[in-house]
Amino acid sequence: MKKRWKDILAVIVVAITFYFLWSQFSKNLSELKGFNWQINNIYLILAILVTIFFYLIAHLRWRLILKYLGFKISAYRSLKYWIFAELGRYIPGKLWFVLGRAYFGKKEGIRHSVIFLSTFLELVVLAGTSVIMFLIGVAFVKNLELWILLLSLAFIIILLIGIYPPIFNWGFNLILRLLKREPHRIRIPYKKMLWLVIVLIFMWVVHGSAFYLTSKAIYPALQLSFQSYSLFIGVFAISWLIGFVSFLTPGGIGIREAVMTYFLGFYLPIPIAVMMAIAFRVLLIVAEFGFGAVLLILHKLEKNKY
C-alpha cells in the first residue's frame, strides 16, 4: 500500500511539473511568433559527439574511487556495469542504481560495503561540485557579483573540508550507524580526494557543454560567449542535483527540466528555455539507452563465445 501511494504521488509530481512547463511555455508563446526555427546541424553533431564522449568517460569517476579503495576492474567492464546500473535511475526510487552496482560489483569480488562507500563518496563530491559549478556560472553572468563569488568560495572550502579523510570518515560512519551498519574507514590520501574533485569538475564541464551545444543547435541566436557557456554548465549541474534528490521522479524527469527553465528564464525567453531543456532530455535518454543497448549486445556476444 505504501509503495502504491508513493507511485501515485510520483505521477502527480511529474504531472504538476509538466503542467508548469506547459503553462510557462503557452503563457509566453507570443514571444516565439515570427521566430524562424532552424536546426544548426553543426552544433547538433557536436552535441551528440560530446554526449557520446561523456558517456565513454563518466564511468571513470566510479572506477577511480574503486581503484583508490583497492579494487581494479577493466575500463570496458566498468563502463558496462556503470551504464547498466545508471539505467536503473529511470525506475521510481533512487537506490536502484546502487543495487545495480552492488550486483555487478559482486561479480568482481567487491563487497557491498565498498560499493556503498564508493557511491557515497561519488555523490558527496558530485553534489559539492555541482553547487560550485552553478555559483561560478551565475557569477560570470552577473558580472562577478561579490556575494556570489564569496558564496562559491565558501562552498569550495566546505567541500575541501568535507572530503578530508578524518572528517569524511566521521560523516560516513554516522550515516552507517543510523542505518545500523558496521563502521567502515576510508583510507584514501587527501591528494587523491582532491584529484577526484578535479575529475568531477571536468565531467561537469563536458556534460554541461553537451547541454550548451544542444541549446545552440535549436536556438542559433544563443549568445556564443564564455558567460553564456558557463551559465549553461552551472544550470545543468544544479538541475541535475535537484532532479537527483527529488526521490519521487525517475531520473529526475520533469524536475530537472523545470529547474533548467526557471534559471534560464532569467536569461532567455521562457518557451525557448523549455524547448532547450526538453531537447536535451531527449538527447540524453537516446544516448543512455543507446549505449545500454550496444553494451547489452556486446555482453550477449561475449557470453555466447563461452
Q: Distance (Å, rounded) from C-alpha 204 to C-alpha 133?
A: 8
Alpha-carbon span 26 to 44, nearest angstrom: 26
Q: What is the pLDDT of residue 209?
A: 96
Q: Give the residue, 232 or 20, on which the prediction is more confident.
A: 232
Is the pLDDT at 12 greater than 60, yes or no?
A: no
Of the listed ranges 3-7, 117-121, 141-145, 242-246, the least confidently predicted one is: 3-7
Percentage above 70 pLDDT, the chain: 80
Q: What does the pLDDT read at residue 35?
A: 56
Q: What is the mean pLDDT of residues 115-127?
A: 86
- pLDDT for 32 equals 52
On whether residue 97 sits in a domain, the answer given is yes
More confident residue, 1 or 279: 279
The residue behind cell 569538475 is 201
39 alpha carbon, distance to own chain's centre: 26
For helices 190-218 and 165-178, the axis angle rounded to 10 degrees is 80
In angstroms, rounded to a whole number, what is the distance separating the alpha carbons of residues 1 and 16? 23
Determine which of 19-23, 209-213, 257-261 has the lowest per-residue pLDDT on average. Answer: 19-23
Are the CB atoms for 110 and 196 separated by under 8 Å?
no
Spatial separation of the C-alpha atoms in residues 256 and 277, rounded to whole Å: 8
Which three cell numbers mark 119? Answer: 557511491
Give the pLDDT of residue 51: 93
For residue 279, give the C-alpha cell: 531537447
Residue with the bigger pLDDT between 245 and 305: it is: 245
Q: On the CB side of 161, how many CA atoms lie within 13 Å of its CA?
A: 6
Average pLDDT on 222-226 reads: 85
Q: Which long-range contacts (CB under 8 A, 24 or more apart) does 149-152 make?
A: none
Q: Which residue has the cell 561579490?
A: 146
Say whether pLDDT at 287 is over 80. yes
Kindly state the average pLDDT of the residues 60-66.
Answer: 90
pLDDT at 20: 53
85 in Cβ contact with 251 (< 8 Å)? no
Instruction: Name the band, by pLDDT with cuts 50, 70 and 90, for residue 110.
Output: confident
Quote the percentage of the chain above a pLDDT of 90: 16
Residue whose C-alpha is closest to residue 70's, from 182, 185, 160, 181: 185
Average pLDDT over residues 39-45: 90
C-alpha cell at 258: 523545470
Contact indicator for 279, 218 with CB cutoff of 8 Å: yes
Write down the pLDDT at residue 224: 83
Domain that holds residue 186: 50-299
Residue 205 lies in a domain: yes
Residue 187: pLDDT band (50, 70, 90) is confident
Over 90: is that where the pLDDT of 53 sits? yes
In which band, very low, low, confident or very high, does the pLDDT at 195 lie, cut at 50, 70 and 90? very high
Q: What is the mean pLDDT of residues 22-36?
A: 54
User: In 160-286, which ranges are E strands?
Assistant: none
Specify if 77 maps to a domain.
yes
Kindly state whether residue 21 falls inside one of the protein's structural domains: no
Total domains in the chain come to: 1
Confidence of residue 78 (pLDDT cuts 50, 70, 90): confident
- Read off the pLDDT band of 205 (50, 70, 90): very high
The yes-or-no verdict on residue 121 having pLDDT over 90 is no
In a domain, 31, yes or no: no
Q: What is the pTM of this model?
A: 0.81
What pLDDT is attached to residue 2? 47
